[in-house]
Amino acid sequence: MWKPINKIMKRIFLLITSLCFINSLSAQTLADAARFSVFDVNSTARSVGVGGGLSALGGDFSTLSVNPAGLALYRGREFTFTPSLVFINSDAELEGGQGTQSDQKTNFNFSNIGLVFHKRPTSTRWTTANFGVGFNRLANFHQKITYEGVTRGSITDRWLELADGFSPNQLDAFEARPAYDAFAIGEFQNDPTFYFSDFVPDDQVLKTQNITRKGSINELVFSFAGNIKERVMVGATVGIPFLRFEENKTYEESDPDNAIPEFNFLRYSENLETSGTGINLKLGAIIRFTQAFRLGLAIHTPTAFQLTDNFNTSVAYDFDANSMNESQPPADSPLLDFEYNFRTPWRFIGSAGIVVGKIGFLTGEVEYVNYTGSKYTVNADIATPTDQSIIDRVNGTIDNQLESNLNFRFGGEVALQKYRLRGGLNLSGTPYADDSSLDSSLSLGAGVRWKKIFLDIAYRRSMDNEVYVPYVIGDQEVNGVEISEQQVNIDAVRNKFMITMGVRF
């Protein structure tokens, strides 16, 4: 709901700025649609140790966010607590630049806090009727990226494109207007809707950018599950995820060799904070065909998020004019407070588990997600036809550039009296239609089981890649000269260490 502060004036301001926001950040909204739709439920050390594929076997709190029927396997009350430490290393290379830059970010978090209550019904049909409540971490957004290189073109090419055909008072508030106010672009006196910059398309420019991302999705779960005669387990989870994402980007251009007349230095900063809550429903079942063999099935409804973006930009420009240095204060955009809705796709999960007596188990899981099911909407009470057309265009981009994919999780455990040894493999397809690569992770784990207390540890090494575009140019041409769109290849390695402490009571 839009905040009722001077409703008429605020509605006009929000309409104008939200249109500019969505236009300017079409690539950002696509990236967020992918980012907020990829869930990785590895909230306990036991689940991480076996690659995250425990949903056919149950008995672990992580399964409440995957296949809630696993809750029915509990035979007593239990409390679990999982602190985690993640080291994220990112190597970034600007195509056409001069090498790769590396950066690292460390994140300490709590991946899981959970409480399970067990009850044995008086009915001879139901063996257990259990309830669970707690938090599971679904996503971790922490990352730091740095790249640098000399390539052809400038971000002012984008600002000229955004400004073309508009008078200064009509320029969008987040890119072209701050660029104009900072003198990074200027209009011709005889045509105030035609703009110029200090660059020509062939200029070689040193580009540097620092990107810092923070945040997570943590899901509050309320789960119920029952065991029917040790043959069929059924369960349901109401999930309430809390989303928080922060991205701060500082993009700079410079001319260390003084090859570009008048130009010295440019800085463009973007600050985005996204927060909100959602709700979903997960249904699951496990069928125990024999004591050794089990199959599981789970269905997750879309998560309906209500999100708020706080967004602002700033442009600083340093140049020489008439043999004098001109260093202006940074030109800042207004602060945009924009509320909207976001829906994630349906998810379907099939799993199988084989229990080898008291020796251990093997497990596997496959998840189907159609990422084109991700959709943005705005409040129908205040949306205009223009609002809706922009949202439709963003959703159309999702339909064209995202696709369905399969995620695979495999693992196993060996039991040596009270000790456990584990290993796992995770293969995940990317949401993007033009990217057929698989992100992979390998995991190892160990544990010890006492009568009332248990302890699990796990290590997971995840590898993924990302193609990042610092700024988008629509026409790819300025004054008849082709413009090269910049592209950065990012390879990330995440090393995750976890310890789960549990008490049965």
pLDDT in tens, 422-437: 999 999 989 999 888 8
pLDDT of 170: 92
Assess whether pLDDT exceeds 50 at residue 160: yes
Helix residue ranges per DSSP H, 96-225: 156-163, 176-181
Question: In the chain, count of helices (H) and strands (E)?
Answer: 6, 24
Q: 233 in a domain, yes or no?
A: yes
Confidence of residue 480 (pLDDT cuts 50, 70, 90): low
3-state DSSP call for residue 201? coil
Q: 2 in a domain, yes or no?
A: no
How many domains does the chain divide into? 1
pLDDT digits 0-9 by tens, 83-127 = 999 999 999 999 988 889 999 999 999 999 999 999 988 877 899
pLDDT of 16: 42
Q: 1 in a domain, yes or no?
A: no
pLDDT greater at residue 494 or residue 262:
494
Q: 175 in a domain, yes or no?
A: yes
Confidence of residue 8 (pLDDT cuts 50, 70, 90): very low
pLDDT digits 0-9 by tens, 19-63 = 444 444 455 678 899 999 999 988 999 999 999 989 999 999 999
Q: What is the mean pLDDT of residues 122-149?
A: 94
The region, left, alpha or beta by phi > 0 then psi within -120 to 50, assigned to residue 479 is: left
Domain that holds residue 21: 7-504
Q: 101 in a domain, yes or no?
A: yes
The pairs formed by 163-169 with CB atoms below 8 angstroms and a separation of 24 or more are: 163/187, 163/195, 164/193, 164/194, 164/195, 165/193, 166/193, 167/192, 167/193, 168/192
pLDDT of 420: 98
CATH of the domain at 340: 2.40.160.60
Q: 94 in a domain, yes or no?
A: yes
Q: How many residues does the chain have?
A: 505
CA angle (279, 69, 369) in 5-degree steps: 55
Q: Are 30 and 38 in contact (CB under 8 A)?
A: no
Assess whether pLDDT exceeds 60 at residue 364: yes
Q: Are 10 and 2 in contact (CB under 8 A)?
A: yes
Q: 452 in a domain, yes or no?
A: yes
pLDDT of 31: 87
Q: 478 in a domain, yes or no?
A: yes
Percent of the chain having pLDDT more than 70? 90
pLDDT of 4: 38
